[in-house]
Amino acid sequence: MASLSHLPGSTGLPFIGDTIRFLKKPQELFNKKQQLYGNIFKYRMFGREYVCIMGAEGNRFVLVEQSKHFSSKDGWQLINELFHGGLMLRDGDEHKHHRGILQTAFKKEALQHYVEAMNPVIKEYSKKLAQQTEVKVFPYIKELTLQLAGKVFFNLDFSNNLQHINHAIINMVKASITPLHINLPFTTYGRGMQGRKVLKAYFSTIIKERRQQPGNDMLSNLCLATNEDGNTLSDDEIIDHLIFFIMAAHDTTASSLTSIVYELAMHQNWQQQLREECRFINNDTVSDGRAIHHNLDALEKMGWVIKETLRMHPPLILIPRKSQSDMNFENTHIPAGTNVTLLLYHNHNNSKYWSNAHSFDPYRFSAEISEHKKCPHAYAPFGAGQHFCIGHAFADLQMKMVLYHLLKNYKWHLPGNYQPVYTHIPIQHPKDGLRMNFEQC
């Protein structure tokens, strides 16, 4: 890597640098460095030097205008082996080729089938809340999103394999932030790699059947998917994408839904507004999922709440890239081979782009106000440019479906004198799971 001696910042101790502070309090770490060095500075983490670029202009430059000169695959090098072959870990023509094929699994018709498959699972799972006086929301939502992944991706009930699969995913996520990539059975990284083997073996047993007897699940769509040139995916390529998709659908969506439940508990007026909005959907025709799919766009306020929650609590607080050539940004030289970090949470909570930035105000996303459109690249919970999340529409549908059933059946609030504490790496979530009291409407 080229020298970064011309850049402001401090790299701390060899190898360790700011790793410990990053894992414990990343927001505090970066805010302090910005105060000391400005919007562009260097730091050290996990044995590597990084350049942090703050601001919407940096997002536009790296993710959109010069995206071909910044590698996502090399940027996510810490998880490259764990999630090998996932769409986020491909660049250039290879990324374009795979995205073109994968897009088939996220078209409108496919999403319709996913909604129909999800609806009865969510409906049945929501009944569990009536049996508990206090719920830990994050574990509950994680179980639900894993069940939904089983149904949507494979048309399988994950109940019998839930702990086995969930444990594999948890180990992979933990391994993604360990500084020591030592692949031995007793190490965090080794357990993560073993988790990948578990998922690969599990998915391999299903692919042959789906190729012969395809259904409406995502795996069937991937087995049949072609691009404009008629190209298809191999079994190994499908498995690589599924491992990445199931992690994203399981962990990032669970993080987002947990944060939404929290914000609606903190803002009871919004909880009630969304509940009233949901009542306009005809319950008699929701049973097969079709009515709610066609009426999700009508849940306007719910859409605002989801966007505002993702602004305040993006599941991933940063996006990494690696420069592939010498670049210049705002009179700052960025050498080829530089690890670059973009901070989503900083832009999402910056008073330069948002009025009352630290206040929960879903109206800012209404058509009349549209703060997110005034500076588009300040808001990027799903990324931007060529690597914009391919599953964003599916994630939006899933969150609206879950919220619809919760709001229709329950009211919820935080226990007295309780304040959850969030951890931010690798996925934002409450450390104790978020204790919540639910009562039937």
pLDDT in tens, 179-208: 778 888 889 999 999 999 998 998 888 898
Average pLDDT over residues 205-221: 89
pLDDT in tens, 337-387: 999 999 999 999 999 999 999 999 999 999 999 999 998 899 999 999 999
Q: Give CA separation, 229 vs 83, 97, 220, 226, in Å.
A: 27, 10, 20, 7
Q: Is the pLDDT assigned to residue 39 strictly greater than 90?
A: yes
Q: Is the pLDDT assigned to residue 284 strictly greater than 50?
A: no
Higher pLDDT, 218 or 180: 218
Average pLDDT over residues 199-227: 88
The pairs formed by 224-228 with CB atoms below 8 angstroms and a separation of 24 or more are 224/104, 225/101, 225/102, 225/104, 225/105, 226/101, 226/104, 227/97, 227/100, 227/101, 228/100
Tell me how far apart the 2 most distant CA atoms of the chain are, in Å: 66
Average pLDDT over residues 140-163: 83
Average pLDDT over residues 410-425: 91
- Work out whether the CA dihedral 59, 62, 66, 67 comes out positive or negative: negative
pLDDT of residue 287: 52
Average pLDDT over residues 225-241: 87
**Are the C-beta atoms of 203 and 235 separated by less than 8 Å?**
no
pLDDT in tens, 44-102: 988 889 999 999 999 999 999 999 999 999 999 888 899 999 999 999 999 999 999 99
* Mean pLDDT, the chain, whole residue set: 90
pLDDT of residue 283: 55
Chain position carrying tokens 């306009």: 280
Among the residue ranges 161-170, 400-409, 424-433, the one predicted with the least confidence is 161-170
The distance of Cα 425 from the centroid of its chain, to the nearest Å, equals: 12
Backbone torsion region of residue 322, taken as left when φ is above 0, otherwise alpha when ψ lies between -120 and 50, otherwise beta: beta
Q: Which domains does the chain have, with CATH numbers?
A: 82-317+352-440 (1.10.630.10)
Q: Is the pLDDT assigned to residue 291 strictly greater than 60?
A: no
Please report, to the nearest 10 degrees, the dihedral formed by the alpha carbons of residues 106, 109, 111, 116 taken in order: -160
For residue 293, what pLDDT band results from cuts at 50, 70 and 90? low
Backbone torsion region of residue 337, taken as left when φ is above 0, otherwise alpha when ψ lies between -120 and 50, otherwise beta: left
Determine the Cα–Cα distance for residues 98 and 390; give it in Å rounded to an integer.
Answer: 11
Higher pLDDT, 283 or 93: 93
pTM of the shown model: 0.92
Q: Is the pLDDT assigned to residue 292 strictly greater than 80?
A: no
Among the residue ranges 32-36, 126-130, 261-265, 290-294, the one predicted with the least confidence is 290-294
Q: What is the DSSP letter of 415?
A: P
pLDDT of residue 285: 47
Among the residue ranges 85-99, 162-176, 289-303, the one predicted with the least confidence is 289-303
Determine the Cα–Cα distance for residues 211 and 206; give it in Å rounded to an integer.
Answer: 9
At CA 258, angle to CA 127 and CA 388, rounded to 5? 120
At CA 75, angle to CA 26 and CA 42, rounded to 5? 50
pLDDT of residue 282: 57
